[in-house]
A and B are shown apart, each in its own frame.
Chain A
Amino acid sequence: MNRPEIFEGALFWSLFWASKKVTGVRGKAPVLRLPVEFNAIYVIVAREFKKFIRERSRLVSAIARPLVWLFFVGAGLSRLVQPVEGVSYTQFMFPGILGLTILFSSIFSSISIIWDKEFGFLKEILVAPVSRFSIVIGKALSGTVVSTIQAVIILLLFPFLGIKLGILNIIAVVILCAMVSFSISAFGIVLATFYESYESFSVIMNFIVMPMFFLSGAMYPVKLLPQVLRFVSKINPLTYGVDALKHMITPLRTGPLSPDFGLITDLGVIVFTSVAFVLLAARLFERKQ
């Protein structure tokens, strides 16, 4: 109900993981109410997944969007930009296209909370004996599941673009996609808490999501941007996700198309923003008059 519950929730989780690590058994201490929280998280994710499977049009447009960017924009621009060290512009764009897929599907999944608010379903979740922290985790994982699936579908295109990835690289990319999806989904939940009606949907798409895409290094390297835009890129959480994907997919050491930051920096920012957004979202959920 109030702030302690968030910390309580955070504490439960860390304790749970710790206890699992130490004892190797599933913690079932009565004080921790963990099964309750897990059931809630599970069912929130299951609901999203079910609706995702059911809504074919959502899946189709989610897959079509990155393809359009990749083949229309990529094909056009690769005539202008010379390949650097064997990396063509289309190949350079590929990590960004994965980022685009993740960005749209994660944000879309998270801001469905606004619809739940409008159609009342959120109340059903909010009056349940479940901590706000778990609701946020559940929602963030929902976004993670559906956007990782979509990212993997797009990833399957890599052989057709002349990109070579080993099996370990593929696994690393998938894990990375899941991490980026989680942080962007958590960011989307924070966004969703500020809006009451989905009339704001187009505002979010045009003024937040599209700029996030363009200034993420997906289309053009951050290091080539003018100073002001470079600054915006640096505070854009997606930038680090795209950059980490570049490390995995087009690992150039130097030159304009090489990654803009170190891999460790990228991973650090992704983890940090994930935690920060989840805590912030849980806190914002508590807000009431």
Chain B
Amino acid sequence: MPIIRVENLTKKFGNITAVDNISFEVEEGTIFGFLGPNGAGKTTTINILCTLLSPTSGRAFINGHDCMKESAKVRKDIGIVFQDTTLDKDLTAYENLVFHAYLYSVKKSEIKERVGDALKFVGLYERKDDLVKKYSGGMKRRLEVARGLIHRPKVLFLDEPTLGLDPQSRTNLWEFITELPEKHNVTVFMTTHYMEEAEVCKRIAIIDNGKIIAEGSPEELKKTVGGDVIYLKTTDNKKSKEEIKKVFGLEAKEKDGELYITTLRGDACIPELIRALADMVVSVRLQRPTLNDVFLKLTGKAIREEEATGMDTIKEEVRAYRRRH
């Protein structure tokens, strides 16, 4: 039985259709990625799944429970890291997690241990008594992941978990996220508009304008754009071309003095190519298709990699300032 099942889900805000008749399933114990540009409908979908919004039509189930009719059961089974942080900045990290533990009725005798373990898992144990307002963006995200795990949910939702983080914090966070299914026995449902991040997912749904336009494993999706490209520098392009045609039956093309061949399983082709061309090869490079290419092919546009959080952070700081004065 899939742990998440979504059937013909639609959500309209006035005349905007934020989510347009989507259906998908997520297998237990996997990382599922929801990939799409800003405004595609990712957050809206998460809000419906976590019972904060009712859909206009369609149904959604988590662990067999209806997200609309059995919200209390669904809430117990899920943990969420929202796109914008939902920590109490005037409490310490430790207090934030204890608050969460009480809210989810974790047994009193277990609270201390679970909170401690969660903090250690994300490497924040030493800073547990600092007020959250002193934390960096990356630390806050890690803390939120830790908090989402305290009540041992079956599904953890991560909405744009790395948005606005510096590259190092992103890598750091990814290490935790990829370990989650195994270490914490949890299914991860994450959204992102960073293509390279979606690579770690077992399955991906690409969403644009509220519709799912492709679904599959990263490998499957990348195959749809036609496979890998091998670039070759040789001492004799003409002779090499003929040789490739004779041995592999492939048409090599020339660009900027380099030959290139499009093929599936490019990595496996390279040794054979080198063997066939013997001493003529000067250099070889392999270019694999990215999910960006997939998105480009499906929609004719690239996903904009804009940093929405830059502005949000400024806004938040202005508010925090006003609040203090």
Interface residues of A (CB under 8 A from B): 1, 5, 33, 35-36, 39-40, 42-43, 46-47, 50-51, 54-55, 115-116, 118-131, 198-199, 288-289
Contact = CB atoms under 8 A, between A and B. Distances in A.
Contacts of B156: none
B86 A289 contact: no
Contact of B51 (A1, A36, A199): A1
A50 B51 contact: no
Contact of B86 (A33, A54, A123): A123
B50 A127 contact: yes
Contacts of B99: 43, 46-47
Given A127-B51, A288-B53, A51 B90 contact: yes
Given A50-B95, A128-B75, A123 B52 contact: yes
Which secondary structure dominates where chain A touches chain B?
Answer: helix
Contacts of A125: 103
Identify the 10 closest CB pairs spanning chains A and B, nearest first. Answer: A43-B102, A1-B71, A120-B86, A129-B75, A128-B103, A129-B76, A124-B86, A36-B105, A39-B105, A39-B102
Contacts of A119: 86, 88-89, 316, 319
Contact of A127 (B13, B52, B84): B52
Report, as a range, how many residues of chain B touch the other chain: 35 or more
A128 B79 CA distance: 9
20 contacts: A40-B102, A40-B105, A43-B98, A43-B103, A47-B88, A47-B99, A50-B95, A116-B88, A118-B319, A119-B88, A119-B316, A120-B84, A120-B86, A120-B87, A123-B52, A128-B103, A129-B75, A288-B52, A288-B53, A289-B54
B305 to A, nearest CB: 24
Contacts of A5: 72
Contacts of A128: 75, 100, 103-104
Most buried by A among B68, B75, B102: B102
Most buried by A among B50, B52, B86, B316: B86
Given A35-B105, A128-B75, A129-B73, 20 more contacts: A1-B51, A40-B103, A43-B98, A46-B99, A46-B102, A50-B91, A51-B91, A55-B90, A115-B323, A119-B89, A119-B319, A123-B52, A126-B52, A127-B51, A127-B52, A127-B80, A128-B104, A130-B103, A198-B319, A289-B54
Interface string B82-123: 101111111100010011101111000000000000000000
B78 interface: yes
Nearest to A115: B323
A42 B86 contact: no
A1 B76 CA distance: 13
Given A47-B91, A130-B103, A289 B13 contact: yes
B104 A54 contact: no
A122 B86 CA distance: 7
A118 B312 CA distance: 12
A30 to B, nearest CB: 13
A129 B154 CA distance: 14
A124 B84 CA distance: 11
B43 to A, nearest CB: 12
A125 B50 CA distance: 12
A124 B52 CA distance: 11
B224 to A, nearest CB: 36
